[in-house]
Chain A
Amino acid sequence: MLPSSEATPQNWRAWLLTDTPASRRQAALGRAYRRWRRFAANPLSLFGLAILLLLILFAAAGPLVAPHDPLRQVLADRLLPPGSASHWLGTDQLGRDILSRLIYGSRITLSIAILVVVVVVPIGLLIGTTAGFFGGWLDNLLMRITDIALAFPKIVLALAFAAALGPGVINAVIAISITAWPAYARLARAETLRLVEADYIHVARLQGASRRRILLRYIVPLCSSSVIVRATLDMAGIILTVAGLGFLGLGAQPPSPEWGFMVASGRNVLLDAWWVATIPGCAILAVSLAFNLLGDGLRDVFDPRHGD
C-alpha cells in the first residue's frame, strides 16, 4: 500500500514511521528508514560513506576520469611536484602520473578487499552457525580449530603464505583469507547461540521446519547484519594488510599501480621527492579511515548493545 492522496514529504515520513505497517514491504522500508536516520545522525559516518562512494565512483569510472595512462612513462616529466600543470598530484621517477595511478590502484585495493570478504564471510558464517546450531562434539571440534587459528600471528602468517604461494593478487587474497576467517566463525557462533533459544525459532521448529531450513533461512540471515558490520570494520585492517604485502613486493606485481607498492617505490626518492611515497600513503589512510568510520556508524545502527 502506498501513501494515500498527495505524496508530500511529510506523508512519506509518516508512512515510513508508522507503528502499524500494512505490508511487509512497508515494515521493511520503515525499518531501513529508521536505521538510515540513526546512521545519518552521525556526521563522521556520513563522511566515511561519502569517501567510499567517491572511491567506488573513481574506481568504476577509471579510464574516464584518469587524466593519463597510469603505465605510460614520460621520462622528460620525471618527479614533477604536485600542482604541476596536467599532473595535479605530480609524477613518479618514471614520469608516470600519480593521480592516474591512484585511480587505477583503487581498483586493485578494492577488489582484493572485497574478494577477501567474499571468501571469508561465507566460510566463517558456515563454520560458526554450524557449530552453534548443532553443538556437541561438532561444536567442540570446530571451535577448537577456530581458537587455534585465532591464536596465530596474522600478518606474519599472511607473509609466509604469500611467500610460499608466490606474489600476486589472487595469492594475496588467499593469504589474507586464511588468517581472517576465525573471527567470523566466533562471531557467528555467538549470534547463533543467542538466536536458537528465541521463540520464533521454536515456533518454526514446531511447524515442522527442517534443521537445514532453520539454519539457512532463519539463523544465517539473522547473523548476517552483525557479520557485515564486523566485515566493514575489518575492511580497514584488510586494506592495511594488502598495502603491507604490496609494500614488501608480495601483492600485485609492478608495473601495476598498487598503493603499498607505490609507497615502497617512493622510498628511494623520499628525500628529493616526498610526494611519491606520501600521496599513495594518504590514499591508504583515507580509505581505511573511511571504512572505520562507516563501520562504527553501522555498528551503532545494528548492534543493540551500542545503539538504542
Chain B
Amino acid sequence: MSTPVTALDRLRALPARNAGLRAALFALRWLITLAVTFVGLLAVTFVIGRKVPIDPVLAVLGDRASASAYAATRAALGLDKPLAVQFWIYARDVLHGNLGTSLLTSNPVLTDIQRVFPATLELATLSTVIGVLIGVPLGVLAAVRHNRLIDHVARFIGLVGSSVPVFWLGLMGLLLFYAKLHWVSGPGRLDPVFDGMVDTRTGSLLIDALAAGEWDVFFNALSHIALPAAILGYYSVAYLSRMTRSFMLDQLSQEYITTARAKGLPERRVVWVHALRNVMVPLLTVIALSYSFLLEGSVLTEIVFAWPGIGSYLTGALLNADMNAVLGSTLVIGATFIALNLLTDALYRVFDPRAR
C-alpha cells in the first residue's frame, strides 16, 4: 500500500504507550469509512430513483393530469430544485427514517420494512447457525484428513454450493421434502390456523412461540422454517467449510503444530484447541460475511417459499414499479450489508494483533 504520509499516518506511527489514542483514531477512521460508504449507497439509490424510466410525477398523478397540476406536484416533490439540493433533501429524509410511502400498501416504507424484516433475520440467523454447526467441523475434518474421502466430500459440497441456483434448489426441496415425503410444511411461515396466536415480541416466531409456551405454534413454525433454512444453510455450509478448510490447512503446516505433536499432545487437542483457536479470528469474520450474504441471498429464497420477509417485499414492489419500496428495501439491506462488512473488518483488526 503506497498511501501518502498524512497526519493520520504520522499519528498512527506513535509509540505503543499511545495505544488508546491509536484505537480512538482507528475508530474514527472506521466511522468515516462507514459514513462515506453509506453516502455512496444513498447516491446510488438516489440516482436509480431519479433516473428511472417511470416519471415520479406521473406515478403520483397518473397520466391525465393538467400541465399546472403537473408543475405543482413537481414542485411539491422537490423535482424542480438542482440535483445536489434534491440529494440533500433525500439524504435528510432517509436519516430521519422517512423512506417515502409505498404505492402498493399505502404505508410508510419504513413501517412496512419493520414488519417484514424480522422474518428475514430469523431465516438468515437460523441458516447461519446451521452453517456454523456443520460447515466449521466439516472444514476442520477436511483439512485434517487432507485428500481423503471426507476432504473430497467437503470439496464437492463447496463446489456444488457455488454452482447451484438457490431458487431451483428451493423448488427441488419443496418437491421432494414437502410434496413427496411430507417431512416439512409448505410455503409460508405458519399454517393459517395458527396465525396471530402468539404476540410479536422479538419478531422471531420460534422465540415468541417458546416464550408464550405455545408448543403447537412452535413446532408448526419449525416445520415451516426447516426447509428454507436448510437450503440457505447449505450455502453457508459450502462457504464456511471451504474457508475453514483452507485456514486450517494453513495452520496445520505451521511449526508450532509440529512442536505440539512432538510434545506428545493428543492429536484431538492439537487440532481442535491449538490450531482451531488460531483460526478463530478469520473464521469469525468469514461467518459474519456469510451472514451478510445470506441476508442478501434470502431474496430469491423468500420468493420460492413465500416467506413474508424483506426479499418478498422487495420483489413484490419491483414487479409493481413501487420504487419507494424498492429503494427503501435496497437501502435497508444495503446498510445492513455494509455495516456487517465493515464490522468484520474492524473485528479482524481488533482481535488479530498482526493486523494492527
Label chain B's interface by main secondary structure.
Answer: helix
Interface 9-mer from B90-98, B162-170, B189-197, B217-225: B162-170
Chain B 82-121 interface 0/1 with A at a Cβ cutoff of 8 Å (1 = within)? 0000000000000000000000000000000000000000
A285 CB within 8 Å of chain B = yes
Taking CB atoms, residues of chain B closer than 8 Å to A152 are 40-41, 44, 334, 337-338
Q: In the complex the two chains form, is A277's CB within 8 Å of B299's CB? A: no
B165, chain A: closest CB distance, angstroms: 5
Question: Which residues of chain B from 228 to 276 have a CB within 8 Å of any chain A CB?
Answer: none
Taking CB atoms, residues of chain A closer than 8 Å to B4 are 136-137, 140
Question: Which residues of chain A from 241 to 279 have a CB within 8 Å of any chain B CB?
Answer: 243-244, 247-250, 260, 263-264, 266-267, 270-271, 274, 277-278
Known: A248-B315, A250-B318, A278-B172. A260 touches B48 (CB 8 A): no
Interface 9-mer from A35-43, A118-126, A141-149, A206-214: A141-149
Q: In the complex the two chains form, is B314's CB within 8 Å of A156's CB? A: yes
Interface residues on A, range: 35 or more
- In the assembled complex, the Cα of A197 lies from the Cα of B41 at a distance in Å of 36
Q: In the complex the two chains form, is A159's CB within 8 Å of B315's CB? A: yes
- In the assembled complex, the Cα of A139 lies from the Cα of B318 at a distance in Å of 37
Taking CB atoms, residues of chain B closer than 8 Å to A148 are 36-37, 40-41
Q: In the complex the two chains form, is A163's CB within 8 Å of B318's CB? A: yes
Q: In the complex the two chains form, is B296's CB within 8 Å of A156's CB? A: yes
Which residue of B167, B296, B321 is within 8 Å of A263 (Cβ)? B167
A146, chain B: closest CB distance, angstroms: 11
Taking CB atoms, residues of chain B closer than 8 Å to A250 are 318
B333 CB within 8 Å of chain A = yes
Residue of A nearest to B317 (CB): A163
Q: In the complex the two chains form, is A260's CB within 8 Å of B318's CB? A: no
CB < 8 Å A-B pair total: 147
Label chain A's interface by main secondary structure.
Answer: helix
- In the assembled complex, the Cα of A284 lies from the Cα of B338 at a distance in Å of 30
- In the assembled complex, the Cα of A270 lies from the Cα of B168 at a distance in Å of 11
Taking CB atoms, residues of chain B closer than 8 Å to A163 are 318, 321, 323, 326
Taking CB atoms, residues of chain B closer than 8 Å to A247 are 165, 167, 300, 303
Q: In the complex the two chains form, is B175's CB within 8 Å of A274's CB? A: yes
A164 CB within 8 Å of chain B = yes
B179 CB within 8 Å of chain A = yes
B288, chain A: closest CB distance, angstroms: 13
Q: Which of B166, B171, B296, B297 has the most CB of A within 10 A?
A: B171
Q: In the complex the two chains form, is B334's CB within 8 Å of A281's CB? A: no
Question: Which residues of chain B from 293 to 307 have a CB within 8 Å of any chain A CB?
Answer: 295-297, 299-300, 303-304
Residue of A nearest to B337 (CB): A153
B319 CB within 8 Å of chain A = yes
Which residue of A140, A156, A165, A263 is within 8 Å of B171 (Cβ)? A263
Taking CB atoms, residues of chain A closer than 8 Å to B175 are 270-271, 274, 278
Taking CB atoms, residues of chain B closer than 8 Å to A274 are 175
Chain B 139-172 interface 0/1 with A at a Cβ cutoff of 8 Å (1 = within)? 0000000000000000000011011111110011
Known: A157-B330, A160-B45. A139 touches B2 (CB 8 A): yes
- In the assembled complex, the Cα of A250 lies from the Cα of B317 at a distance in Å of 13
Q: 5 more A-B contacts (CB under 8 A) besides A153-B296, A237-B162, A247-B303?
A: A151-B341, A155-B297, A249-B319, A263-B165, A277-B168
* Top 5 closest pairs, chain A to chain B, by CB: A281-B168, A148-B40, A289-B163, A153-B337, A288-B163
**Which B residues contact A (CB, under 8 angstroms)?**
2-4, 33, 36-37, 40-41, 44-45, 48-49, 51-53, 159-160, 162-168, 171-172, 174-175, 179, 292, 295-297, 299-300, 303-304, 314-315, 318-319, 321, 323, 326-327, 329-330, 333-334, 337-338, 341-342
